[in-house]
Amino acid sequence: MKQGELRRALIVVTGLCFFLFVYLYWQQSSRPLHALILTYRHVYSSTRESLPPQWTWQCVNQRCERHQITGGNVKITSQSTCGMLCGTMQLWPLPTGPVTLGSKALVFHQSQLQFEAVASGEAKEMLEEAFVAFNDSILSLVRDDNYLNEKTDILRFVVRVSVTRNDPTTRLKLNTDEGYTLTVKFKNGDVLAEVGARSYFGARHGLETLSQLIWWDEYEGSVGSLKVLKGATVQDAPAFPYRGLMVDTARNFMSIESLKRVLVGMSASKLNVFHWHLSDSQSFPMLLPSVPQLAKTGSYSPQEVYTPDEVKALVEFARYRGIRTILEVDVPAHAGNGWTWGPQEGLGELAVCVNERPWSLYCGEPPCGQLNPENPNVYDVLEKVYRDLLDLSGEREIFHLGGDEVNLECWAQHFQKSNANNNHSDLHDLWGEFTGKALARLQKANGGFKIPNVIIWSSKLSKRPYVTKYLDKNQITVQSWGASQWTDTPELVADGYKVLASHVDAWYLDCGFGRWRETGEAACDPYRPWQTVYNHQPWHQLRLSKKSFLGGEVCLWTEQVNEWNLDSRLWPRAAAFAERMWTDPSQDTTTYSIHEDVYTRLSVHRERLISRGLKPEAMWPTWCSQNPGMCL
């Protein structure tokens, strides 16, 4: 090719490349942003939903058998309707009292619901809010709004809720009667569902159970419809007063919306304590009115902060759903970032060993940090913190002080470097004195009144000989988180302490995902499947009285969790824990096998959680759900 021809060819190629670049740039910049965002709605497209049904289910020997639809004369029954009318009940957690369920169903519209509250004062106002949540649960089942054009079997669906006890208390207490009765009858064209309880919280649980007797039948009519059992009676009450779930929002920030999903799952499973682990050595994301410096210096960003109004709103959101909220600021350990502002305000070092390296000498994981026990200003700050936490939560019966994993070497090195006077030959005594001072400031923050139930994490301080020296058994409950084979729990019970069980080998839901700092298994691996969570019954396995346990709590630490995998780490395992705490069903202690009914009911409950906006992890292949008993 001649030089002139080569030049022309290069000019043409350059021009084409320039044109292509301009075109692609224009296409990218002119594309609307929302086209790049995919929103999960449902796995089935509208086209697929309109296809004729493929399977029908028949009740054979108390199981729903799947059959292919081969002709037009086959009676078609959906899996959901067969499951509700065949075999065992689909309630979760399993009621503790007698239950009778009808074998027929009625078609109704959500618009036919009418609510009657027989209560007074704030309890009546709260029941109205509870019915809004109940109504939302029913609406979440609907897959096609056109079902409102279909005929129904009833005239009205009346839900009457009565709180019979003249008790104005609308805050959950450890002695609150959470029991309820529920009856569903069909008479003169109306469905009448009556819930009776001695407290608002029992009434709310009754509404939850009623919502679980309602389902969506995709085969009913032309587009599907809502159905309810024609008759039912349920008598129910929990086995334990404290049925908790802890979420850590210090390692990774969780949005308020994601925490609301946690509370929705808890209420659906009748868990009643949301333990919010607010701060740790990594961050302090809570904006406290009296001590704003903690969030200002300790949050990851200004956007990753919980405001007082947000916290109060979340506490109320939980209360309407039968859940009390406990706010924990862990001390004296697990306190680093957020506590470094003392010197600039003339308060001295509030925390020591903050971000110290090598971290393995001063704490269990990076970054390090512990409060300075010999700085009197620390206790002034703690009093302000405690006053704010009490005000924000409205909780005056239970308080979580933290108190775990104090590293005595951190304090020893601090005293050595600063030449501070230390008169303790055993630094456990310094730790015990700190705890006593913190408890005194908690009482002062509570207007001089002692909080009757203070929870601390199990630690070396809660072991002999320190436990009886520094921890008052009449006030302190120890949250026993060590392995269930350890001696901690039975020794605490023997010494007269109440125990809150959170054994790491069964009820820590963050375990099983390897080390986050290097390769290999983590200290608390392996993964705890829902069966392990469900089978753990420490009072029985340790041969201890159930009365020695305040209850139990599943824990989710978040080194490897944020709001994008929060749901799957919790559910349905936290629901399996919920039945252990509500029902405490008997089990085969020889094989620890789980009855087929439990698998079926939990699978249905998992679908219920999905309908309410949660994204739980899978239990098994869908084939197992469609063919009950065939996978076990």
- The domain boundary residue, chosen from 64, 87, 110: 87
- Residue 18: enclosing H or E segment and its boundaries? helix 3-30
Give the integer Cα–Cα distance in Å for 370 and 368: 7
* 24 belongs to a structural domain: no
pLDDT tens per residue across span 185-223: 999 999 999 999 999 999 999 999 999 999 999 999 999
Give the integer Cα–Cα distance in Å for 90 and 101: 10
Here the CATH number for the domain that contains residue 189 is 3.30.379.10
Is 588 marked active-site?
Answer: no
Cβ count near 420 (within 10 Å): 14
pLDDT score recorded for residue 591: 79
Is 334 marked active-site?
Answer: yes
pLDDT tens per residue across span 113-149: 999 999 988 999 999 999 999 999 999 999 999 999 9
Q: Residue 334 is encoded by which pair of tokens? A: 């697990």
Confidence of residue 37 (pLDDT cuts 50, 70, 90): very low
Q: Work out whether the CA dihedral 605, 231, 227, 64 comes out positive or negative.
A: positive
Is 597 marked active-site?
Answer: no
Q: Assess whether pLDDT exceeds 60 at residue 39.
A: no
* 626 belongs to a structural domain: no
Question: Same domain for 93 and 80?
Answer: no
Question: Same domain for 566 and 536?
Answer: yes
Confidence of residue 106 (pLDDT cuts 50, 70, 90): very high
In percent, the amount of the chain with pLDDT more than 90 equals 84
* 29 belongs to a structural domain: no
Question: Same domain for 254 and 360?
Answer: yes
pLDDT tens per residue across span 165-177: 766 678 999 999 9
Question: Same domain for 316 and 207?
Answer: no
Question: Same domain for 253 and 196?
Answer: no
Question: Same domain for 456 and 511?
Answer: yes
SS3 70: coil
Question: Same domain for 268 and 372?
Answer: yes
Mean pLDDT of 571-589: 95
Give the integer Cα–Cα distance in Å for 37 and 40: 10
pLDDT tens per residue across span 583-627: 999 988 777 799 999 999 999 999 999 999 999 999 999 999 999
pLDDT tens per residue across span 326-352: 999 999 999 999 999 999 999 999 999
DSSP secondary structure of 475-507: TEEEEE-S-TTSSHHHHHHHTT-EEEE--HHHH
> 508 and 533 in contact (C-beta within 8 Å)?
no
Give the integer Cα–Cα distance in Å for 307 and 247: 18
Give the integer Cα–Cα distance in Å for 445 and 437: 12
Give the integer Cα–Cα distance in Å for 524 and 217: 43
Give the integer Cα–Cα distance in Å for 314 and 328: 15
Question: Same domain for 128 and 104?
Answer: yes
pLDDT score recorded for residue 318: 98
pLDDT score recorded for residue 239: 98
Here the CATH number for the domain that contains residue 504 is 3.20.20.80
Give the integer Cα–Cα distance in Å for 191 and 107: 10
- Computed over every residue of the chain, the mean pLDDT equals 92
Question: Same domain for 190 and 321?
Answer: no
Q: For the ranges 266-275, 358-367, 516-525, which has the lowest average pLDDT?
A: 516-525
* 558 belongs to a structural domain: yes
pLDDT score recorded for residue 120: 87
Question: Same domain for 532 and 456?
Answer: yes
Tell me the pTM.
0.91
DSSP secondary structure of 352-377: ESTT-SSGGGT-SSSSP-EE-TT-HH
Candidates 150, 190, 310, 405; catalytic one: 405
Q: For the ranges 338-342, 415-419, 627-631, which has the lowest average pLDDT?
A: 415-419
* 577 belongs to a structural domain: yes
Q: Assess whether pLDDT exceeds 70 at residue 361.
A: yes
Q: For the ranges 23-27, 49-53, 235-239, 598-602, which has the lowest average pLDDT?
A: 23-27
Question: Same domain for 319 and 182?
Answer: no
Mean pLDDT of 25-34: 39
Give the integer Cα–Cα distance in Å for 2 and 9: 11
Residue 194 CB contacts under 8 Å (≥ 6 apart), including other chains: 160, 161, 162, 182, 183, 184, 185
Candidates 205, 275, 334, 414; catalytic one: 334
pLDDT score recorded for residue 187: 95
* 11 belongs to a structural domain: no
Give the integer Cα–Cα distance in Å for 331 and 234: 44
pLDDT score recorded for residue 295: 98
> 515 and 521 in contact (C-beta within 8 Å)?
yes
- The domain boundary residue, chosen from 213, 236, 259: 236
- Residue 162: enclosing H or E segment and its boundaries? strand 156-163
The parent domain of residue 78 ranges over: 55-87
* 368 belongs to a structural domain: yes
Candidates 194, 280, 328, 356; catalytic one: 280
pLDDT score recorded for residue 17: 57
SS (H, E, C) 263-279: HHHHHHHCCCEEEEEEE
SS3 508: strand
Mean pLDDT of 75-99: 94
* 436 belongs to a structural domain: yes
- The domain boundary residue, chosen from 87, 110, 133: 87
Please state the domain count of the chain: 3
Question: Same domain for 349 and 274?
Answer: yes
SS3 191: strand
Question: What residue type is assigned to position 333 of the chain?
Answer: A
